[in-house]
Chain A
């Protein structure tokens, strides 16, 4: 079975621009979660989608948004980029939503904002 894939792997953007990141979960997985990872903060939960609905949301400003499609693929969007948005963005998929389901992470998208 193919793992979680994320595109693009690397991205360089300028302050003020917007960016869209994509995540394809493992086949059959219906839950997709997004995380931001920075050296100082570690992994921070952004949001979780299940069956095209946002189930949980972390403490991030409204500039961060996401969506999930009927095939479970998910995208996250960051508008009006700031320097502090430079980070590794990780996507994780699981069979179902809930605390007991194993999460499988993708390789991440490294975003650099200049």
Chain B
């Protein structure tokens, strides 16, 4: 079983709408949780990094939350744009290694 589970697997929303992506993890202990955005054909780009003591972190229209008790994180995208169409990957660090989720593919339609 993957130690980092993301849902939904894929999502289609209309431009201007908000959406929330979920990440549940069983990795323990962990030191930080990251969200990456990966455009098609490109490498992932970091959106946020949160330590276990942080509850929320924002990067423009992207807001990540973390509940270390329930081992859940979410990434909220506000006022979506066409350029938000990408894969969003949740990554949990364990020791010196990173454990990756399979990603959520987001498609924003006009």
A interface residues, Cβ below 8 angstroms from B: 4, 41-45, 48, 55-56, 90, 92, 97-100, 102-108, 110
Contact = CB atoms under 8 A, between A and B. Distances in A.
Given A44-B100, A97-B96, A106-B43, 6 more contacts: A43-B89, A45-B98, A90-B43, A98-B96, A100-B31, A103-B98
Contacts of B46: 102-104
B45 interface: yes
A100 B49 CA distance: 9
Contacts of A45: 97-98, 100
20 contacts: A4-B43, A42-B102, A43-B44, A43-B100, A45-B97, A45-B100, A48-B96, A56-B96, A56-B97, A97-B96, A98-B96, A99-B31, A99-B93, A99-B97, A99-B98, A102-B49, A103-B46, A104-B46, A105-B43, A110-B41
A37 to B, nearest CB: 9
B48 to A, nearest CB: 11
A55 B96 contact: yes
Nearest to B99: A45
Name the interface size band of chain B: 20 to 34
A84 B97 CA distance: 24
B44 A105 contact: yes
Interface string B85-110: 00001000111111011110000000
B52 to A, nearest CB: 12
Contacts of A105: 36, 43-45
A100 B32 contact: yes
